Structure 1
Amino acid sequence: MGKPQSSTLIILAFFSIYVIWGSTYLLNKIAVTELPPFMLASIRFIVAGILIFILSRLMGISISISKRQFINTSIAGFLFLTLGNGIAVWALKYVDSSFAALLISGQPLVILILMRIVEGKKIQPMSYVGVVLGVLGMYLLASQRQIVLQEGAIVGIAMIFACMISWAFGSLFVAKAELPSNFFVNTGYQMIIGGVLMAGFSLFYEDAWSWPSQWSGKVQLSMILLVVFGSIVAFTSFNYLLKVVSPEKVATNTYVNPIIALLLGWYFLNEHITLQSIIAAVILLTGVYFINTKKKLRGYSRFFSRKRNE
């Protein structure tokens, strides 16, 4: 009885980080047109964290954690949310949501390289092909003249690469760190800590804070969706997956996220998709596929059942 339930949870968790996170690029892009990036992210995560703790108490789940767990969740919240998400949202002031999603789709490449450097993990032959294709795809994507010449585009691209590195470090750290055993509580602490740190950044940059009643209807709706689905549902799923499958497998959400972001950005924001972007995306995602494929190209039937230590 345990295995079917576990497999179902893993599938649902992957669906959350695949589809829901793909839509957050659009929601953040809408919100960041009116709100300062760090203020936006801070409110989103603090509210989500408080709601998680309230739900935990209602369900009879203890939110008490050890000192070591608090330190580790603080580190994870800083790497994932303060840097990883906060900088990515900031970058959306300078680049399209679809472009950001395509560039971030190279996340497995960054994780693979860090696993090689930090953990000494051997890179499989097929992964070398993926690295070459990934680098080529990123270059084609980020070197487009019409994108590079946009005001602030270089800054936005640099921010995205910085957030990818931070997110990769966070993924490797969380996979081995001692964290609260309840994934809901773990997410709540990371949300609040990450949100508080982002509030500090916001105050440092002297952002002009405002009440939700002053926001437009579309920004209010975007924030609600970001808090409930983007933060509580998807991020809890993400933390859960990091403990039951390997980090590079979790990073496969980058197969689907850019496709969702491309379609939503094109439909709702009229974002232009160039032919070079499409070619770069195909090359990049092909590279990500090779990175996450075993040497003998084993089928997807074992995808959800692999252990972290394989």
Structure 2
Amino acid sequence: MSKSGNPTLIIASFFSIYVIWGSTYLLNKIAVTELPPFMLASIRFTTAGVLIFILAKFLGINLAISRKQFLNTVIAGFLFLTFGNGVVVWALRYVDSGFAALEISAQPLIVLLLMRILQGKKIKLMSMIGVILGIIGVYLLVSQKAIINQENSIAGMIMIFMCMLSWAYGSLFVSKADLPSNYFVNTGYQMVTGGILLLLTSFIFGETWTSPMVWSTPVQYTMILLIVFGSIVAFTSFNYLLKVVSPEKVATSTYVNPIIALTLGWYFLNENITVQSMIAAVVLLTGVYFINTKKKLLIFSRFSGRLSKKLK
């Protein structure tokens, strides 16, 4: 598959998954304090998917897809939205929004390891250093007593890690799968199918549904932002990028997401940012940088070559 795309669209799409998705941690945290998590996620994605289909019809875009493409969108919708997002929303009841974003910033490590296990891709030296730094960063983050002692915080951490696995595998799956060629249509099907699966999950867990008319004003505005920007704009951008750039590059959104989430959580929700969390962030994101940057690899190889010549 040819990896090519419009440079302007690529830049705009990266802005969407960097900044807009960074703010969704705050928005979900606000909404989940009032709404059941799976209901919240189901309404968000189903509504977004239906709106995408309506807009596509208005623009004259053909919504017809093959049976195989439909099956693949169901799988992707489950990996990214039903499990990958729905469970994160559930976990946000027990962990801070900034903490969740920082833990998820380790996703490129998971992508790299899965590419090694499933695709046999060799892990280069600098990437190995990045993995080690990432593991140290995650340990520093999750080992804080103030966080561990919070009720159900450990369960929240574990489930967020499982969501990272789901997103990482989903990224690899989507990059190779036969999906609708139109990114708008692709996103719509994933949203609707993922939202329906979240609806079933909500019923299985016995969540109580309420009308949007009885929600508080902040939650109503939050849901609008999540549907329009966090779902339609950002997720369409995400699917587009997975087709035109490598999965590792898409995963670099985790550089910016935690910074946005930490800042917004601190400013709007008075979430505490500890010194250890800041150190963990620096170590973890440095590891992610080592994994993804080719420039660093080039500099290191040149340095190694010069050093070996001197030693000779």
TM-score bracket, shorter-length normalisation:
over 0.9
Letter of the structure 2 residue corresponding to residue 80 of structure 1: F
**Which residue in 2 is equivalent to 1:111?**
111
Q: Alpha-carbon deviation of 1:293? A: 1.6
Q: Is the 8 A contact 1:126 1:293 kept in 2?
A: no
Q: Is the 8 A contact 1:183 1:240 kept in 2?
A: yes
Cα distance in 1, alignment partners of residues 225 and 279 from structure 2: 31
Correspondence list, 1:27-42, <5 A:
27-42=27-42
Q: Alpha-carbon deviation of 1:5? A: 7.7
Q: Is the 8 A contact 2:48 2:227 kept in 1?
A: yes
After superposition, the C-alpha distances for 1:123-159 in whole angstroms (9 at most, x for unaligned) are 1111000000000000000010000010010010011
Q: Alpha-carbon deviation of 1:196? A: 0.2
Cα distance in 2, alignment partners of residues 170 and 39 from structure 1: 22
Correspondence list, 1:1-310, <5 A:
6-294=6-294, 297=297
Q: Is the 8 A contact 2:88 2:160 kept in 1?
A: yes
Q: Alpha-carbon deviation of 1:296? A: 5.0
After superposition, the C-alpha distances for 1:86-108 in whole angstroms (9 at most, x for unaligned) are 01110000000000000000000
Cα distance in 1, alignment partners of residues 118 and 140 from structure 2: 28
Q: Is the 8 A contact 1:126 1:294 kept in 2?
A: no
After superposition, the C-alpha distances for 1:247-274 in whole angstroms (9 at most, x for unaligned) are 0100000000000001100000000000
Which structure has the bigger radius of gyration?
Answer: 2
Helix, strand or coil at the partner of 2:255: helix
Cα distance in 2, alignment partners of residues 82 and 143 from structure 1: 28
The TM-score, its normalising length taken from structure 1, stands at: 0.94
Cα distance in 2, alignment partners of residues 298 and 243 from structure 1: 26
After superposition, the C-alpha distances for 1:215-245 in whole angstroms (9 at most, x for unaligned) are 0000000000000000000000000000000
Letter of the structure 1 residue corresponding to residue 289 of structure 2: Y
Q: Alpha-carbon deviation of 1:294? A: 2.3
**Which residue in 1 is equivalent to 2:307?**
none
Helix, strand or coil at the partner of 1:23: helix
> What is the number of residues matched between the two proteins?
297
Cα distance in 2, alignment partners of residues 261 and 295 from structure 1: 27
Cα distance in 1, alignment partners of residues 55 and 294 from structure 2: 40
Q: Alpha-carbon deviation of 1:297? A: 3.6
Letter of the structure 1 residue corresponding to residue 26 of structure 2: L
Letter of the structure 1 residue corresponding to residue 200 of structure 2: G
**Against the structure 1 CA distance between its residues 5 and 151, is the aligned structure 2 distance closer, same or farther, given a 3 Å change threshold?**
closer
Structure 2 segments unaligned to the other structure (5+ residues): 300-312
**Against the structure 1 CA distance between its residues 5 and 79, is the aligned structure 2 distance closer, same or farther, given a 3 Å change threshold?**
closer
Structure 1 segments unaligned to the other structure (5+ residues): 300-310
Q: Is the 8 A contact 1:38 1:86 kept in 2?
A: yes
Letter of the structure 1 residue corresponding to residue 264 of structure 2: L
Q: Alpha-carbon deviation of 1:295? A: 7.0
Cα distance in 2, alignment partners of residues 294 and 59 from structure 1: 40
Cα distance in 1, alignment partners of residues 16 and 179 from structure 2: 21
Counting aligned pairs with the same residue, the percent is 71
Q: Is the 8 A contact 2:290 2:296 kept in 1?
A: no
Root-mean-square deviation (CA, aligned residues, Å) is 1.4
Cα distance in 2, alignment partners of residues 85 and 207 from structure 1: 17
Cα distance in 1, alignment partners of residues 298 and 76 from structure 2: 32
After superposition, the C-alpha distances for 1:49-70 in whole angstroms (9 at most, x for unaligned) are 0000000000000111000000
Q: Is the 8 A contact 1:125 1:295 kept in 2?
A: no
Cα distance in 2, alignment partners of residues 163 and 215 from structure 1: 28
Cα distance in 1, alignment partners of residues 124 and 51 from structure 2: 43
Q: Alpha-carbon deviation of 1:204? A: 0.3
